[in-house]
Structure 1
């Protein structure tokens, strides 16, 4: 279903808002001016249709204007240019009435005349004007007919007035003559920019009485061909002669039909809006080429991990986990030696701590080197290019400018600092192994004291106490040797299990660190880029909607 003028205006306005700062400034200015012009025209008289006669010097435009209205209102003559200011004829209404006056003020037309509806040349009482020929086609009520200054006038001011009214008229009647109908200036500067305005453009070959019938057909055919090349394939083309009156009734009937249908305003500005919307859509570029963004995101996260020192932190987590496991499961007599080695995480200010402390802590990781920073910056740029693949350079550059890469180092450091790396409390099996170690140490100490007691009694030559035998050896020997060997065995098993557990904890820490880095990437890179792609999609979608039929 075709859009209304208001819907088309709203869609194009939304496209411009979505592309703010990324569409070409000239395009935005021209389109905003058009939207303002459409809104202004919509607020003026909807009962009047503005039909403008435009043409070059010597085309007989003013003579044709007089023939249409049946009165000599426009100045004609051999002096060029003869039309310096636009002239308006309002049919059926007082031109100084509220509706027509506001419309003509907006058009900036000061020379105004009133004519009654009906056949041209009639008095308001229905009688004929003296000397006026009776025509078969009538002047439609609500017609505002304009005679414009020559568009090729040597006076710049005249050309400016003509161009302004060409952009504001509802129906454009371009009057050409047999000598200048193929003039490049006419087609390049005026007709070609009206491509797509077929419904509101009429090409009139005036002074057809100077040509033979065959030549008229030949020129009309050539004029249609040129119009098609200008993008006006369906524009109406006809021949007329202001001097003889031939074709004037056909033109008057065509104008009357446009006025009675009350569609010319919507058709004119609808075509203007569609043309502008196609320009905005072209400025948005083609649809994305569909490159794999997940691969680019993985590369981005890998680069940011490297810049954040994640590999260093993961190594520290593994070593710290081994150290903590040894501190809980190692053989008690030498366990204190492990405590002499500094904790890798504590050296980086990443030791387990509360969430509140982590939020205000900075790490002691070495800052990213030039190579890491360059890699991270390249990854951010490459990701932006992948996300905006196929978009115009202005959109890509605007997206890059909105990425706060300068905040990445601090944000990454803070993300690493607040990521939980190791549990604050000891693992349950560490506590079990530690209790077992103390029990075995107690057994070894008991055996050693027992043997020492026996040795003391022998030294004092006191009777030997009865010593139980457990298996192949006395009980105190079994306690001493068994406690020591069992303790060393438990320490070895604990060290192996601690290393395996440390690797698992390092992998878990890496996942949590990657999630933290991904959160930073989401906030500083992915979300801003998503806003840009959403804006681009909205601009393209709304422009396509406004450009639709």
Structure 2
């Protein structure tokens, strides 16, 4: 489905916005100027079609202009045939009317004439019949259709003028005209400057370009056919293979009616403006699309991200923290489940997490705490920086250099150490409260110790009675031994066995908590990577894709 001019302008503008700072600055400036020009033209009279006659010095452009309008309005000459200022003829309206006046002001054309619509007749302000050239007189007597209302016909300055100002005026109007009629002569129709500077940039504008071989009366019919064939071949090489080619003579009037009919058809269909600027927008969009390059061929996102996270984990000291979590969990379990008489000795061993300033604490405090982890060594820092660069290169492989450099510039490698340290500091590593089974085992230990103490006191009491030579009390026997002995020995042995089982369970739990802490730390490191590395790369990739997509849409791909 073909886009409207407004839709094409919107797509191209979106592509430029997405590629701002990445696309070549001259291309962006040139394309934004085109977009502004199209929008300006869209706001002017849609009832008028601007047809410009462009050509080199001596091509007979002004004579052909006079033959088309049937009046000697454009000055011609034989010694120095040159046009320095543009001339406009408005057909079917006055140049002072709002629509034509605004359009001509935008074109910056000051010399203006009015011409009635219909059969070619003398224009207002034209010369007398006797003073007209033979070609003009023949045009006035012609029976073909005249120029239609709504035509704004321009005679441009010579595009090869030695005066720079004249060339600038011609180029400005060439960029703003709806239909371009390029007038060439038999001597300079193959001029390299004409084709390379003017026609080749119009590739794809076949519908709005007409090539007129003027002064055809100087050639034989055979030579005219040969030159026209050569001109068509050159036009095809310029990308204008469907451009219409006409042989004419302003002196004899040959071909003038055919050219007038082509102009009249374009004006009556009122499609020249849309086709001209649509072609301009498509060509500019194709340039933007080419500047975006091919779609990046990034490797698997997950594999690349895993390599990056591994390097950042190492730089953040995650292995050291995981080891500290495991040892701290073992220490805490021993302090809660060990045999009470010796349990207090574990408290003299330093807590690995506390030494790193990573002991369990409230979240608000963790947000403002820095760790005491040793800084990453040169090898770790180099590995992290290399991983970041490699990930960026892999994500944008195949992208233009400007996009890759812009992506690298957005990566905050210098901020990674502090961000990683903060991420580790605020990650909950161990629960603040004791595990439920620690409390249960601790209570059992105290019960067993109480039994052992009770047995010891019982035995001590029996020994005291024996020392005082008092009658021995009746001591119950539990199994193979007296009850006090069972309480003492059983309490101690059971306490030691429970402590051993608690230590074993504590180590198993410590490994499980270390694995959980590693997962949380990796998530924290991944968040840092997402914020400082992955998100900027994703934004650049998305901008590149948006630029390519919108440019392709504007180019009609």
TM-score tier by shorter-chain length is over 0.9
Please report how far the alpha carbon of residue 123 of structure 1 lies from its aligned counterpart in structure 2 after TM superposition. Answer: 6.3
Alpha-carbon distance in structure 2 between the residues aligned to 1:442 and 1:118 = 123
Q: Determine the structure 1 residue equivalent to 2:495.
A: 487
Partner of 1:256: 264
| Counterpart in the other structure of 1:409 | 417
Q: In 1, Cα distance between the equivalents of 2:79 and 2:337?
A: 113
**Paired position in structure 1 for 2:58:** 58
Give SS of 2:489's match.
helix
Q: Do the aligned residues in 2 keep the contact of 1:200 with 1:268 (CA within 8 Å)?
A: yes
Question: Which of these residues, 300, 304, 313, is aligned with residue 296 of structure 1?
Answer: 304
More displaced, 257-266 or 128-137? 128-137
Which of 254-263 and 137-146 deviates more? 137-146
What is the CA distance between 1:322 and its match in structure 2? 0.2
Q: Does 1:221 align with 2:260?
A: no
| Cα distance, 1:81–1:297 mapped onto 2, change above 3 Å | farther
Shift of 1:345: 0.7
Greater Cα offset, 192-201 or 391-400: 391-400
CA distance in 1, matches of 2:151, 2:443: 105
Report what 2:326 is aligned to: 318
The Cα offsets for residues 161-207 of structure 1, whole Å up to 9 and x where unpaired, read as 11111111111111111121111111111111011111101111111
**Matched residue, 1:106:** 106
Q: What's the counterpart of residue 157 of structure 1?
A: 165
Q: What SS does the corresponding residue of 2:176 show, helix, strand or coil?
A: coil
Deviation digits for residues 264-303 of structure 1 (CA, Å, limit 9, x no counterpart): 1111111111111111111222123252111111122222
Deviation at 1:238, TM superposition (A): 1.4
Counterparts of 1:323-402 in structure 2, within 5 Å, are: 323-402=331-410
Give 1:79's aligned residue. Answer: 79
Among 502, 511, 518, which residue is 2:519 paired with?
A: 511
- Offset, 1:431: 1.2
Is the aligned partner of 1:177 residue 2:185? yes
C-alpha displacement at 1:14, in angstroms? 1.5
C-alpha contact (below 8 Å) 2:70/2:123 kept by paired residues: no
1:27 counterpart = 2:27: yes
Q: Cα distance, 1:79 vs. partner?
A: 2.8
Q: Which residue of 2 aligns with 1:69?
A: 69
Is the counterpart of residue 9 in structure 1 residue 9 in structure 2?
yes
User: What is the aligned partner in structure 1 of residue 38 from structure 2?
Assistant: 38
Higher mean C-alpha deviation, range 158-167 or range 112-121: 112-121
Determine the C-alpha separation between the residues in 2 that align with 1:107 and 1:435.
96
Alpha-carbon offset, residue 97 of structure 1 = 2.4
State whether residues 87 and 111 of structure 1, in contact with CA within 8 Å, keep that contact through their aligned partners in structure 2: yes
- In structure 1, the gaps of 5 or more residues are none
Q: Report the Cα distance in structure 2 between the residues aligned to 1:123 and 1:108, rounded to whole angstroms.
A: 22
> Which of residues 238, 244, 257 is equivalent to 2:246?
238
Alignment map for 1:448-487 (pairs within 5 Å): 448-487=456-495
Give how far 1:469 is off. Answer: 2.5
Alpha-carbon distance in 1 for matches of 2:182, 2:248? 12
CA distance in 2, matches of 1:230, 1:8: 24
Alignment partner of 1:321: what SS?
helix
Deviations 1:390-445 (Å, cap 9, x if unpaired)? 22111121122223333322222222111111111111111111111112222222
Inter-partner Cα distance in structure 2 for 1:497 and 1:181? 96
- Between 436-445 and 243-252, the greater mean CA deviation after superposition: 436-445
Structure 1 vs Structure 2 CA RMSD:
1.9
SS for the counterpart of 2:212 is strand
Superposed CA deviations along residues 459-504 of structure 1, whole A, max 9, x for unmatched, are 3444433333222222222222222221111111111110000000
Q: Distance in 2 between matches of 1:472 and 1:80?
A: 139
Aligned residue number for residue 91 of structure 1: 91
Q: TM-score, normalised by structure 2?
A: 0.94
The answer to whether the 8 A contact 1:322-1:495 is kept is: yes
CA contact (8 A) 1:328 1:430 kept: yes
Other-structure match for 1:309: 317
Inter-partner Cα distance in structure 2 for 1:412 and 1:129: 91
Residue 180 of structure 2 aligns to a residue whose secondary structure is strand
Deviation for aligned residue 1:129: 4.9
Contact 1:91/1:139, CA 8 A, preserved across alignment: yes
CA contact (8 A) 1:197 1:271 kept: yes
Deviation digits for residues 336-360 of structure 1 (CA, Å, limit 9, x no counterpart): 1111001111111111111222122
Matched, 1:285 2:285: no
Give, in whole Å, the separation in 1 of the partners of 2:205 and 2:363: 67
Contact 1:81/1:153, CA 8 A, preserved across alignment: no
Secondary structure in 2 matching 1:88: strand
**2:122 and 2:200 mapped to 1: Cα distance?**
38
What is the distance in 1 between the residues matched to 2:506 and 2:80? 103
- 1:502 aligned onto 2:502: no
2:297/2:395 contact within 8 Å kept: no
In 2, distance between residues paired with 1:359 and 1:504? 25
Q: Which moved more, 1:341-350 or 1:378-387?
A: 378-387
The answer as to 2:428 corresponding to 1:420 is yes
Deviation for aligned residue 1:81: 4.8
Q: SS of the residue aligned with 1:167?
A: helix
Match for residue 137 of structure 1? 145
For the residue of structure 2 that corresponds to 1:380, the secondary structure is: helix
Is the Cα contact below 8 Å between 2:157 and 2:166 reproduced in 1?
Answer: yes
CA contact (8 A) 2:184 2:214 kept: yes
